[in-house]
Structure 1
């Protein structure tokens, strides 16, 4: 005699094949606004591309203006894959110890980077006149971003130096 619990894994595999799902398209024109539309003084803008559509992953777009950087942050339990859509810059990751500088990983258009869960990192754009645009795909339905006061620092509070300074905009 079968127990209902033994059917659960089978149902989870079959249900997506039986139940129709819809495709969702996020258009670039709806995600990345023109420079004239960007708020004055904001140096980093994060916009939702595909968020809340599945429980397994989400995608955002991060635009880092020239001579700017994101806060030092991590994505909690989420894995993240970064794709450089345009520009070039650096992915800084946690130093080996308190006396070391953060590790610098140069990234240019077309490059990918994998950032494991809880890994402190920062996007840096040292260019004079070109935006750095990253597409970030994370495990989980909603993006998690925990801003820190510094490398190995405490979680930053809203508005605190080192805290969340990015403007977060939903495109959809």
Structure 2
């Protein structure tokens, strides 16, 4: 009777469970991003769209940002690669599909879209994406090629 392969099989099964077991054994702490920390990220106050990293690099599965679109502005047409995105409209109305405060939008991977604020007040969206950091791929237009980095404001 050979015991070594059985022990190796049990050990490999145990090691495959470690990522699921460790958070239960060694729980992490709650991490907070204060509103004042978000305010500090508004350095480019003249920018038409202000993007603030609320929860970036703290999870390998998701991240969160705040997008403030100033009046009468729009982003370039873009997609988020393989990331899924959920948008929560915190205030104002905007986007190509109208979002009002309290509305949610789901953007599947590789889906081209554009943030638009055609009102006279700020629009604020909370964006939750799969992945540890936001991915934004700017395009030259609808169905266009990837834009060069220096061609986007």
TM class by shorter chain equals 0.7 to 0.9
Q: Which has the higher strand share?
A: 1
Partner of 1:124: 116
Q: For the pair shown, which has the larger CA radius of gyration, 1 or 2? A: 2
Is residue 2:59 matched to residue 1:60? no
Partner of 1:146: 137
1:9-158 equivalences in 2 (<5 Å) = 9-32=16-39, 38-40=44-46, 42-90=47-95, 92=96, 105-128=97-120, 130-158=121-149
Moved over 3 A (4+): 32-35
Q: Under a length normalisation based on structure 2, what TM-score does the superposition of the two structures give?
A: 0.88
Structure 2: which 5+ runs fail to align? Answer: 1-5
Structure 1: which 5+ runs fail to align? Answer: 93-104, 166-172
Residue deviations 1:36-93 (CA, integer Å, cap 9, x gap): x6533x1111110000001010001111110001111101000100001111112x3x
Partner of 1:101: none
Q: Under a length normalisation based on structure 1, what TM-score does the superposition of the two structures give?
A: 0.78
**Alignment length (residue pairs):** 146
Q: What's the C-alpha RMSD, in Å, of the aligned pairs?
A: 1.8
* Structure of greater relative contact order (alpha carbons < 8 Å, 6+ residues apart): 1
Q: Which has the higher helix share?
A: 2
Are residues 47 and 84 of structure 1, via their aligned partners in 2, closer, same or farther at CA, if it must alter by over 3 Å?
A: same
SS at 1:135 equivalent = strand
